[in-house]
Amino acid sequence: MEMAVIGNSLQIFIIVILVVLVASNDGIFIAILFSLFSLFASLLFFINHAPDVAIAEIAVGSAIMPLILIISISKQKEFLVDDRVGDGFVTNEGSDGYKLLMAFTKHYNLNLKICKNGICDISGVLRKDHVDLIVEKADGGKGYLLKGKKSSILMNRLKMEAKEVSGISIVSIEEREEYD
């Protein structure tokens, strides 16, 4: 009877942690919640007579995965822009493109780094630079295209902010596509 109460309590804790985990926006807090979820899950495995699975869950879920999440979050401090236009649209402090990107990176606590002359690469898994955005002239020379990965959460947020700026079109591209 006592083990059933403990097991039910652990399941309730796991459900509460998952609800808070889904509602959270802070990356470090998510890593901590993930670790707690894994800890309670491992206790549940142990109560249900699966000590080998509990040990694996503690090792991988409570220690290794949160560590990987925290390292990944700490690495994402830079927003790399490939300026393929070179006319100062994203480098001159008075331009709309520069203002948009500076406000965007400041809001998300990122460092803006601009790569010039198409040296950066957006495609491939083993790329040298992890480009977040490519700036090109739109067809006909009127306006600018800002191209980024479709899977990027930052691109979706930039789309929302760029709606207010005229002459800028946001284009989301698939990870595997290449634009030269």
The per-residue pLDDT for range 25-63, each reduced to its tens digit, is 888 899 899 999 999 999 999 999 999 999 999 999 988
pLDDT of residue 16: 95
- Rounded CA-CA distance 133/150 in Å is 11
- How does pLDDT run across 64-103, given as a tens digit for each residue? 998 888 887 776 778 888 888 888 888 888 888 898 999 8
pLDDT at 86: 82
Residues in the chain: 180
Domain assignments of the chain as residue spans, ordered by start: 2-74, 77-173
Is the pLDDT at 111 greater than 50? The verdict is yes
Closest CA to 103 of 165, 169, 166, 173: 165
For residue 177, is pLDDT > 70?
A: no
- Which whole number is the average pLDDT over 107-115? 84
Cα(155)–Cα(172) distance, integer angstroms? 7
- Signed CA dihedral, 10, 12, 15, 20: sign only: negative
pLDDT in tens, 112-160: 888 876 565 544 444 455 678 888 888 777 889 888 887 777 787 888 8
**Over 60: is that where the pLDDT of 179 sits?**
no
pTM of the complete model: 0.56
For domain 77-173, give the CATH number: 3.40.50
What span, in angstroms and rounded, lies between the C-alpha atoms of 64 and 174? 30
Closest CA to 85 of 119, 135, 49, 42: 135
**Which pLDDT value is given to residue 118?**
57
